[in-house]
Amino acid sequence: MTDPSTHINRHRIRVRYAETDRMGVAHHMNHVAWLEEGRTEWMRDLGQTYREFEDSGMFLQVVDVQISYRSSVTYDDVVVVETRLAELKRASIDIGYRIEREDNGRLVAEAKTTLACVDPNGKLRRLPEWMGRRQA
């Protein structure tokens, strides 16, 4: 079984033309969607998809995003989003990311997101065990 505390997912994304801006590079807002795509794949590796998680009536709400941009990429470049657990709390999870170019390994961005586990009413809930929460 995949151990959430050590598992690292590496996910390839090819930069879309629509994601570039007039500076000629991928606009910094798109990296936020790339992180989300990375954690979707990281969760899939753990044995449940985030879609199933939502279908079960739970949500992971993004409460904090921090991104440091290190170098730019442009249309048709391929980036690899590396996703791993950063810290696990009772009702929230910190996920860490490293985005790099696939061709030369150059660091594109480092990021961390905090997600809170909530029910449909927005009430905080304990994270599920498959996401790494210790059993009582």
Cβ proximity to a second copy: between 1 and 18 the closer is 18
Residues in CB range of 122: below 8 A, 6 or more apart: 61
Q: Provide the minimum distance between the beta carbon of 135 and a second copy in the complex, in angstroms, as a whole number.
A: 28
CA dist 107 and 12 (Å) reads 14
Q: Provide the minimum distance between the beta carbon of 90 and a second copy in the complex, in angstroms, as a whole number.
A: 19
The three-point CA angle 131-65-117 to 5° equals 35
102 binds a second copy (CB under 8 A): no
Q: Provide the minimum distance between the beta carbon of 39 and a second copy in the complex, in angstroms, as a whole number.
A: 10
Ramachandran category for residue 102: left, alpha or beta (phi over 0 → left; psi -120 to 50 → alpha): alpha
CA–CA distances in Å: residue 78 to residues 12, 72, 94 = 7, 12, 25
When binding is defined by CB under 8 A, the residue of 1, 17, 104, 134 that contacts a second copy is 17
* Residue 119 is a catalytic residue: no
Site for a second copy in 71-90 (CB under 8 A): 72, 74-76
Residues making contact with a second copy (CB under 8 A): 14, 16-18, 20-25, 27-30, 32-33, 36-37, 40, 49-51, 54, 59, 61-69, 72, 74-76
